[in-house]
Each structure stands twice: as structure tokens, then as C-alpha cells.
Amino acid sequence: MAVAGWKEAAAPHPPLDSLPVRWFNHTVAAVGDGVVKRRVEGAGVMLSVTERGDPDRPTVVLVHGFPDTQAVWEPVADLLAVDLHVVSYDVRGAGDSGTPVHRSDYALHLLVEDMAAVIDAVSPDEAVHLVAHDWGSIQGWEAVLSPRLTGRIASYTSISGPPLDYAALWARQHRGAGPTGLRAALRQALHSWYIAFFHIPVLPRLAARNTKLWSGALERLEGAEPDALWPAPTLADDFAHGVELYRANVLPRFRHPAAGHTDTPVQIIVPLRDRYLTPTLLEGLESWSSGAWRRQVDAGHWVIRTDPHNVAAWTRQLIDFVEQGTESPDLSRWRAGQDRVA
């Protein structure tokens, strides 16, 4: 698979930080160690995109969540790039990508348009394998459930982020399902306390200023050790901008949820120690795909940082199944309907 403009990156380029802030669409710059940076024009914003590995290999697109940047994927990306073409990008409002002006510019359909622009830029002729975490996973579900990217996503590995419509329907069902269902709904609501906090004016932006507190909490509570790249130096702004994802999407979807279905093969990775999403919330999500695997793992929310080797291995198993038609014994045991713990 040839990526438009990739070969030009082999020529000498100025350092990335010396390039204009607003590059032309698809401008490419090599930054060493097989890493290529480019700008891609999304739905009204410029997106910062990173590529690793051989562009002739199957393409994997990694999408980060809140309040991260693509740097959260560095350990996983390096492992996958050994034999795959790996792409990550900063979503709108995060890292080095453009920041929308209006809250409505954070709507899910625009995030899907951004994803489509990246996929078309890095893999114009072949479908890609999508892997996403947290809010990236919510975006990923939106992408595979909508007709916009039909035929462009070969497989989807979702980590800690269900479709908003599914979450809304789940909450409605469990609130009316007697004491047991009500307890499950209340338990998830307590785990989701931050969503209400993010809808309070001013306070989330003030909280975002204390980046040291956030970095410390990640290490202390999640066991996710920070490094020079993650959390990103733009964390305060990323947090403040990322809150708009919640404000633009959660209430509208919860008011008018609709069931969905995809024929894309989906692997749902369920961290059993996730502080924000209870495993119960994700029970039944596999029914939204014609072919699904539900892998329960003994990990916390930021499993992509605490256990990158396993995340890379789990991702590669689904990719190998789709590309080669061979289902590994480990992947097979996680087919929907079989609940075990890795």
C-alpha cells in the first residue's frame, strides 16, 4: 500500500517544530526512527498525524481519549510498528491539532469526519484496523455504526468506551429492571460522577490548571507511569477543550438514543478494574456487532499504558484473523458468550 507523499519524506526536512503552524493538507516531514509526521485537514480543523512502520503493511489507526493526546499510544504504537503500518493522531482540541471555536464543533459526526480524513490520507486504497480508547472508543463506535465509513474499517478493537446510545439505552433498561438492575444503574452513575462535574460552568477549566495533580493521580491510582511525552505538556488545554466532548454529545444522545449494529468485526476489551466504566455496563454490547469478541482483563482504565504488550498482542490477534482468516486459540476463547479473565 503506497501512502501519498510518504516517499517524499525520505528527503531532508527542517525540524518539525520549525514548520509553519498551519501546514498544507498532507504535508509530510520525517522526524527519524521511521516516524513520519503530517498534517491532515479534517472537518474544519487541521489534525496532527503520526505514522510508524512499513506503509505497505496493513494499517492500524489508534485513537486516544480524554484528556490524552496521541502520545498515550506511544508504547503500543512502537510494538505494533514492528510489522504493521501504525497511525495515530491528536483529535480536535487536543495536542497539536486545531481547536474548534464552538461547542457544536465537538459533535460526534464531526469527529467521524476527522477520522475519515485521516484514514483517506494514510490508507487511500485499503481498509484500516481501528483501535481506540476512552472517548476515542466512543468515536470508534460512532464510525463503525454509521454508513460514513462503510468498507473503510476492517476491524475494531474498542477499549473502555461504549457507544453513547448504547449507554443511554442500558441505563434506561436497568433503571426499570427491578432492584438488581437499579443497583447496577446507580453503581455506574456513581462511577460516572465526573460527567455531571464537566457540565458545571467554569469549574472544570479551573481544575484543568493543576496538571501535576492529574499526573500524580494517574500514577498513584491507575499505576500508569508518566514519561517525557505523556501526559502531554498541553494537558491543561487538552482537558479544558476535551470537556466540550461531553457537553456537546452526552445529553443529546441520552435524550434520544437509538440502537445500532455493525458488520465490522469488533473486539471489546473490558478492564475489570476500570474506575469509570463498570463491566456490567458493557455486558451485551457485543450484540451490536455481527461478529464480536468480549475480552475481560484484570486491568484498570489506562490499560494501554499499564500493559502495552498485551494490548498490542490482543490487537494483533484480531488483525491476523481478519487479514489471514485464522483465529488464534486465545482469540477464539473470547468470542461473545464466553466470559473469562485474562
Torsion sign across C-alpha atoms 245, 290, 300, 175? positive
Q: 1 in a domain, yes or no?
A: no
Q: 107 in a domain, yes or no?
A: yes
Q: 342 in a domain, yes or no?
A: no
The total of structural domains in the chain comes to 1
Mind listing the pLDDT tens digit for each residue in 99-149? 999 999 999 999 999 999 999 999 999 999 999 999 999 999 999 999 999
Q: 12 in a domain, yes or no?
A: yes
Mind listing the pLDDT tens digit for each residue in 61-93? 999 999 999 999 999 999 999 999 999 999 999
Q: 108 in a domain, yes or no?
A: yes
Q: 136 in a domain, yes or no?
A: yes
C-alpha cell at 48: 496532527
Is 121:48 a contact under the CB 8 Å cutoff?
Answer: no
Q: 142 in a domain, yes or no?
A: yes
Mind listing the pLDDT tens digit for each residue in 174-230? 777 778 877 887 788 777 767 777 778 877 777 777 777 777 778 888 888 889 999
Domain that holds residue 207: 7-332
Q: 265 in a domain, yes or no?
A: yes
The reply to whether the predicted model has a pTM over 0.75 is yes
- From residue 294, how far is each of 267, 335, 340 by CA, in Å? 6, 6, 9
CATH code of the domain in which 85 resides: 3.40.50.1820
For residue 204, cis peptide bond before it (omega within 30 degrees of 0): no
